Amino acid sequence: MWNHDISTAPRDRDLWLATKCGKVIKSHWIEKFGPGRWVGLGTKEQPIAWQLFVTPEYPNHQSEAGAFAAVNGKAGLANATSVEPSASELIVHKHEFLDDVGSGA
């Protein structure tokens, strides 16, 4: 949930900041080299909104593929480094990146 009251943003942890140009960046408050500012923004630039940056934790459960591997004699998530995948088990992901996502620019 975005908070538009920048004065309430915690300055002791990482945050997501929304900028006036339509970008969202991970940032934190820094007071080195002059007056305090948000990392990634210009010296006098202020974000328009903020929200806490939450670092997701890796799930502590086996996926269906992990359970299948365990049943078939292959190691599950706990010992995945010792398993050599076959060519038929490899999944290739292709990603496309957009420079502008709905900012109207």
Q: Residue 36 pLDDT more than 50?
A: yes
| pLDDT-wise least confident of 4-13, 46-55, 96-105 | 96-105
The predicted model scores a pTM of: 0.53
pLDDT band at 84 (very low <50, low <70, confident <90, very high): low
% helix, strand, coil for the chain, step of 5? 20, 15, 65
Distance CA 86, CA 104 (A): 45
Q: In the numeric block, which tokens belong to residue 12?
A: 């002791």
3-state secondary structure 53-98: CCCCCCCCCCCHHHHHHHHCCCCCHHHHHHCCCCHHHCCCCCCCCC
DSSP class of residue 3 equals: B
